[in-house]
Amino acid sequence: MVPKKNKLIRGEDFALIHRTGRFFSHGRLRAKIAKNSLEETRIGISVGIKFSPLAVRRNKLKRQLRSVARKHLSGIRPGFDMVLMAEKGEQFPDQVELEKDFSNILEKSGLKIT
């Protein structure tokens, strides 16, 4: 589970990031990233009905994305808000694919601590 201080929950925060954040993508994973005024990096997950009309599949993907975010949280520069989204596809993404895509997004955005 992602610690509460690192969760992005409020709808206003999601809207602000969607309006002002920079867009990054790799594979089937998308991210909007914006700087925040905090000393923590906060991560939110948004999986819409376009990904799958089945709530079971959307919830499974959200659990997988939370797990990936938790694993990489210590390697992300602090002070940013990030919203993760998934693109619709024929096959359901596996954990390894999501981790690779997330890592590549962090590298592209310059948030990865080396």
Average pLDDT (32-50) is: 93
Check pLDDT > 90 for residue 34. yes
Kindly indicate the confidence band of residue 87, based on its pLDDT and cuts at 50, 70 and 90: confident
* C-alpha angle 40-44-65 in degrees, rounded to nearest 5: 110
> What is the residue extent of each domain of the chain?
4-109
Check pLDDT > 90 for residue 112. no
Average pLDDT (18-23) is: 95
CATH class of 4-109: alpha beta
Which pLDDT tens digit goes with each residue over 45-78? 999 998 889 999 999 999 999 999 999 998 999 9
pLDDT at 114: 66
Name residue 30's amino acid: R
64-80 in b/e burial notation, b at 16+ Cβ within 10 A? bbbebbeebeeebeeeb
Residue that is written with structure tokens 């991560």 in the block: 43
Q: Which residues contact 62 (CB under 8 A, 6 or more apart)?
A: 45, 47
80: three-class secondary structure by DSSP: strand
Which pLDDT tens digit goes with each residue over 88-111? 877 788 899 999 999 999 999 999
* Paired tokens of 54: 């089945």
Widest CA span in the chain: 39
pTM for the whole thing?
A: 0.90
